[in-house]
Chains A and B, each alone.
Chain A
Amino acid sequence: MASDMAQTSFPWLSLAIFTPIVFGILVLAVGRVSNPTVARVLALIGAIAGLLVTLPLYTGFDATTAQMQFVEKATWIAEYGVSYSLGVDGISLWFVLLTAFITIIVVLAGWEVITSRVAQYMGAFLILSGLMIGVFAALDGLLFYVFFEATLIPMYIIIGVWGGPNRVYAAFKFFLYTLLGSLLTLVAFIYLWHSAGGTFDILAWHKLPLGQTEQILIFLAFLMAFAVKVPMWPVHTWLPDAHVEAPTGGSVVLAAIMLKLGAYGFLRLSLPIVPDAAHSLSGMMIGLSLIAVIYIGLVALVQDDMKKLVAYSSVAHMGFVTLGFFIFNKAGVEGAIVQMISHGFVSGAMFFCIGVLYDRVHSRRIADYGGVVNTMPKFATFFVLFSMANSGLPATSGFVGEFFVIMGSVEYNFWIGLLAATALILGAAYSLWMVKRVVFGDITHQHVRELTDVNAREFLILGVMAIAVLYMGVYPAPFTDVMHVSVDALLKHVAISKL
């Protein structure tokens, strides 16, 4: 990791974090039950403004250096050596943009669907968006932790207030599961702070020499938080519950961004801070990842609830991501990052599609559908496209990441590569079988016959997502170019033992 960081003159990252938060508070303040449109419009303005202020990050990004860019640093709590320290490199850049982008989708997705307490709904999502960008941009351990934990509050409310019939159970499970992991991480953070002589600076932690036992314990503490968040087998069980009960927007954010917080934690913290532990425990990590890919893939196959099916497929896809991290080669890590971005688009779109059906029929059961293509041809086109992307069809974004990771795994060990490649088969099986049962076939239910095709708002969302998925599948260079140097630097750093 580069030591000195390029200072920037304009605080774009702070703006990226606080624009949505300020708009979120504004929406909460002006929103009235009598006039939900005000809240909707203001939220949309906030979400668009939030995306616009992240664009200079991309245009001004220098892809030739692994240093942190757009750095901001100010003392925050002097007594404990905590600073407000932000910066992005090639690894985190795209997640900032992705978060801002998904926020617009979420605001639009809830536009007329959410009718109760609209202002609170929109406000919660905007605040959540700012907090998640904060996680990706934080370079101070405590700041990272504050953002990481704070995301739980809006999500808890979102699932619990606007969720399905079993929402209370799902909200509690989501909150407590994640909290368990992150509290131990807090202890590890404080331990690192103490060992580093009173600094929470993540980049200083990267260089901190640590003994093997310390490293293993810290790695396991981090693993508790990040594995739950990713989620990895066997701590994934909160995810299907949360997804099934969450409103469409909640599922989209959860799958597209929140799961990435955990994976990002591995890249920014686990690998560079405790590289020796990462190496010595890589066997376990690869094993858990492969179980997620294969076993959870099989579990997805037998689901009769569409949201559950996509939720399990998310776990399987995230297994690919963690697999890519722990084979320690460039193809693996870059493939994993691309997979994360792609999964953000694809899973977001899948959950939105299910939301479109649910809004009309109020059922997520696969058996309640069949022959949707007859009444909703436009929708069916998109649904098939996203399902293809979900199963990793070439020319969609889903292919790029999976292909890289499989390539990397073969390079690492042929048999691991072979096992990972079965994901393509399983992914195709559960995705396409669902498409077959939902979209194609004869119409067997009266409510399917009465379906109306997507309206302009839904078409816009699906269209934008489709362009993103196809563009990334055909021409992934803009996504991968920015990360080459940073990934190289990370791998070089991880290869050097701290012992």
Chain B
Amino acid sequence: MEFANLNLSLVAPEITLLVLTSAILLIDLFVKDEGRALTHILSLLTLVVLTWMSLSDLASGVQGTAFDGMYVADSLAHVLKVFSYIAVGVALIYGKGYAKDRGMLRGGELYVLSLLALLGQMVMISAGNMLTIYLGLELMSLSFYALVALRREHTVSTEAAMKYFVLGALASGLLLYGMSMIYGATGTLNLAGIARATSGATDNHMILVFGLVFLVAGLAFKLGVVPFHMWVPDVYQGAPTAVTLLLGGAPKLAAFAIVLRLLVDGLFGLAADWQPMLAIMAVLSLAIGNLAAIMQSNIKRMLAYSTISHMGFVLLGLMSGVVEGSAFNAQNAYTSAMFYVVVYVLTTLSSFGVLMLLSRSGFECENVDDLKGLNRRNPWFAGVMLVQMFSLAGIPPTVGFYAKLAVLQSLIQTNHVALAVVAVLFSLIGAFYYLRVVKVVYFDDPVDQAPLQGSAGFRTVLSVNGVLLLVLGVFPAPLVALCAQAISSSLAL
């Protein structure tokens, strides 16, 4: 490997994050404050620095590979990273008071682990090699196993962490096994090399498909789609809400990125094989996610099932870029999936934000009924909740509608009209449980009269988050264009 091929400047955001995280880890040793205010501020500053770096990379159109193709920098990576920073930053702001009340800030682990998980996500997003993917994935997953278990004395959290760890390790194993098969058949770990090796007819088709199945299973686990979804409801429910929020936000962006890099950049030659797999998982996710969500009385669990169904939509977007094994309208298809993921993350952030706003010391807001009469207690945040729920249900004029529209138009353009009809019918079922939340918020009388907690900063960010869902619903064009630009730069490489 030539030193000149290292291209270290491309990896600047990751290096910066690692250095700053280590610094925060050290500084935190000397923080005596129970609220970890300094650690909090330093973590947010780190994210601001990173956002500035990635935005300037995006603006100047930085593109290229580092470490001999193991690391890819393109607009897709820059955009997804910016949204990851935002997701982590917002999650930290929302979670501060919540974590403090629950004794999760006795050490600074919440911040350091979140930043390390973010580093893992960034590595995944920029991965150009199967080993890089695995490295990033493990860094992220290990940080999250610890984060879920952060409330050591809390039985449910510990149980959730245990489940997450065991199943997560299994999924990593599956992924690694799949990678080894692909490596065996192609002789390279580099995605670009794999793409070259699998583009034409090959004698190793059997081995490749064998590897692909394991690969897809591992990815499906990380995305949380049926039939690899079992961990999602338990972990979402069991984890402290602040961690659930971290888990439900940025990792989805990273998972989307590795699916795109592995299946599209690496294994497009096997598109005819993975397309039906994605389609089947998508339909199952829509069905089971939406049907199971109806029965939940715990809102975190309900949102977990709703996540499963939303990931089904993302898969539909991803698989629609292939017609009879070759790329058709690929740009449009991946743009729609990416737009969907970004919108989903923005919406999820604000819905868990409201749950944390309603929680306080000694009271956990986690049942749908805990939201009763929110409109009488605080009309503004009831309105925010209303917008989120309609956005998740995909009702205009919220941004969630355009996300659904993007995926549906992509499906119809590639003649998957039947899948589009199935998708809308399941969103109708989905609308029911979102409406139920709105019903509880607006139609019912409050049982709990305690004033809402939350610092001014938290409230401001949450309000901006909620209003954004509506503003993007009226002016979705810039976000769509951003996603389209990111995808086109990635496909051009």
Residue A461 CB within 8 A of the other chain: no
* Contact, CB under 8 Å: B480 / A79: yes
Residue A1 CB within 8 A of the other chain: no
Cα(A159)–Cα(B408), bound, Å: 31
**Cross-interface CB contact of A156 among B402, B417, B428, B438, cutoff 8 Å:** B438
Residue B166 CB within 8 A of the other chain: no
For the complex formed, measure the closest distance between the CB of B452 and the CB atoms of chain A, giving whole angstroms: 17
Residue of B nearest to A180 (CB): B428
Cα(A142)–Cα(B408), bound, Å: 13
Tell me which residues across on chain B come within 8 A of A187, comparing CB atoms: 408, 412, 417, 420-421, 424
* Contact, CB under 8 Å: A191 / B412: yes
* Contact, CB under 8 Å: B390 / A176: no
Q: Mark B437-459, 1 if CB is under 8 A from A, else 0.
A: 01100110000000000000000
Residue B401 CB within 8 A of the other chain: yes
Q: Mark B369-412, 1 if CB is under 8 A from A, else 0.
A: 00000010001000000100010000111000110011011001
Residue A474 CB within 8 A of the other chain: no
Residue A382 CB within 8 A of the other chain: no
Residue A76 CB within 8 A of the other chain: yes
Residue B183 CB within 8 A of the other chain: no
Tell me which residues across on chain A come within 8 A of B431, comparing CB atoms: 175-176, 179
Cα(A146)–Cα(B100), bound, Å: 42
* Contact, CB under 8 Å: A79 / B432: no
Residue B180 CB within 8 A of the other chain: no
Tell me which residues across on chain B come within 8 A of A238, comparing CB atoms: none
Residue B481 CB within 8 A of the other chain: yes
* Contact, CB under 8 Å: A194 / B442: no
Tell me which residues across on chain B come within 8 A of A168, comparing CB atoms: 439, 443
**Cross-interface CB contact of B432 among A76, A176, A183, cutoff 8 Å:** A176
* Contact, CB under 8 Å: B405 / A190: yes
Cα(A183)–Cα(B435), bound, Å: 16
Residue of A nearest to B424 (CB): A183
Residue of A nearest to B421 (CB): A187
For the complex formed, measure the closest distance between the CB of B430 and the CB atoms of chain A, giving whole angstroms: 10
Cα(A80)–Cα(B484), bound, Å: 11
Residue B477 CB within 8 A of the other chain: yes
Cα(A117)–Cα(B480), bound, Å: 38
* Contact, CB under 8 Å: B428 / A176: yes
Known contacts A171-B439, A186-B405, A194-B412; is-contact A150 B420 (Cβ 8 Å): no
Q: Give the residue among B395, B402, B420, B427 with the most A Cβ atoms within 10 A.
A: B395
For the complex formed, measure the closest distance between the CB of B205 and the CB atoms of chain A, giving whole angstroms: 34
Near B by CB (< 8 A), chain A positions 110-162 give: 117, 120, 142, 145-146, 149-150, 152-153, 156-157, 160-161
Residue B120 CB within 8 A of the other chain: no
Tell me which residues across on chain B come within 8 A of A157, comparing CB atoms: 386, 438, 442
* Contact, CB under 8 Å: B442 / A77: no
Residue of A nearest to B410 (CB): A190
For the complex formed, measure the closest distance between the CB of B404 and the CB atoms of chain A, giving whole angstroms: 8
Near A by CB (< 8 A), chain B positions 216-275 give: none
Cα(A77)–Cα(B409), bound, Å: 13
Known contacts A168-B443, A186-B408; is-contact A146 B379 (Cβ 8 Å): no
Tell me which residues across on chain A come within 8 A of B379, comparing CB atoms: 120
* Contact, CB under 8 Å: A77 / B428: no
* Contact, CB under 8 Å: B484 / A184: no
* Contact, CB under 8 Å: B477 / A76: yes
Residue A78 CB within 8 A of the other chain: yes
**Cross-interface CB contact of A145 among B335, B396, B417, cutoff 8 Å:** B396
Residue B476 CB within 8 A of the other chain: yes
Cα(A146)–Cα(B474), bound, Å: 10
Tell me which residues across on chain B come within 8 A of A120, comparing CB atoms: 375, 379
* Contact, CB under 8 Å: B409 / A194: yes
Cα(A111)–Cα(B161), bound, Å: 56
Cα(A154)–Cα(B30), bound, Å: 53
For the complex formed, measure the closest distance between the CB of B410 and the CB atoms of chain A, giving whole angstroms: 9
Known contacts A149-B396, A194-B409; is-contact A171 B477 (Cβ 8 Å): no
For the complex formed, measure the closest distance between the CB of A274 and the CB atoms of chain B, giving whole angstroms: 16
Residue A312 CB within 8 A of the other chain: no
Cα(A172)–Cα(B396), bound, Å: 17
Known contacts A78-B481, A160-B442, A186-B405; is-contact A172 B432 (Cβ 8 Å): yes
Residue A193 CB within 8 A of the other chain: yes
Residue A268 CB within 8 A of the other chain: no
For the complex formed, measure the closest distance between the CB of A297 and the CB atoms of chain B, giving whole angstroms: 32
Known contacts A78-B481, A187-B412, A194-B413; is-contact A175 B435 (Cβ 8 Å): yes
Q: Mark B49-68, 1 if CB is under 8 A from A, else 0.
A: 00000000000000000000
**Cross-interface CB contact of A190 among B375, B395, B412, B477, cutoff 8 Å:** B412
Q: Mark A166-209, 1 if CB is under 8 A from B, else 0.
A: 01100110011001100110110011011000000000000000
Cα(A191)–Cα(B401), bound, Å: 17
Residue of A nearest to B390 (CB): A153
For the complex formed, measure the closest distance between the CB of B182 and the CB atoms of chain A, giving whole angstroms: 34
Residue B45 CB within 8 A of the other chain: no
* Contact, CB under 8 Å: A146 / B480: no
Known contacts A79-B480, A190-B409, A194-B409; is-contact A160 B443 (Cβ 8 Å): yes
Known contacts A150-B397, A190-B412; is-contact A161 B480 (Cβ 8 Å): no
Tell me which residues across on chain B come within 8 A of A175, comparing CB atoms: 431, 435
Cα(A160)–Cα(B373), bound, Å: 12
**Cross-interface CB contact of A186 among B413, B424, B439, cutoff 8 Å:** B424
25 residue pairs from A and B, CB less than 8 Å apart:
A77-B477, A79-B335, A79-B480, A146-B396, A146-B397, A152-B395, A156-B438, A157-B442, A160-B439, A160-B442, A161-B443, A168-B443, A171-B439, A176-B428, A176-B435, A180-B428, A183-B427, A183-B428, A184-B421, A187-B420, A187-B424, A190-B405, A190-B409, A190-B412, A194-B412
13 new A-B contacts, CB < 8 A, other than A145-B396, A153-B390, are A77-B402, A146-B397, A150-B395, A150-B397, A161-B375, A161-B443, A167-B443, A172-B435, A176-B435, A186-B405, A187-B424, A190-B405, A190-B420
Partner-A contacts on B (CB < 8 A) = 335, 375, 379, 386, 390, 395-397, 401-402, 405-406, 408-409, 412-413, 417, 420-421, 424-425, 427-428, 431-432, 435, 438-439, 442-443, 476-477, 480-481, 484
Partner-B contacts on A (CB < 8 A) = 75-80, 117, 120, 142, 145-146, 149-150, 152-153, 156-157, 160-161, 167-168, 171-172, 175-176, 179-180, 183-184, 186-187, 190-191, 193-194
The 7 closest A-B pairs by CB, nearest first: A146-B396, A183-B424, A160-B443, A77-B477, A79-B480, A190-B412, A190-B409
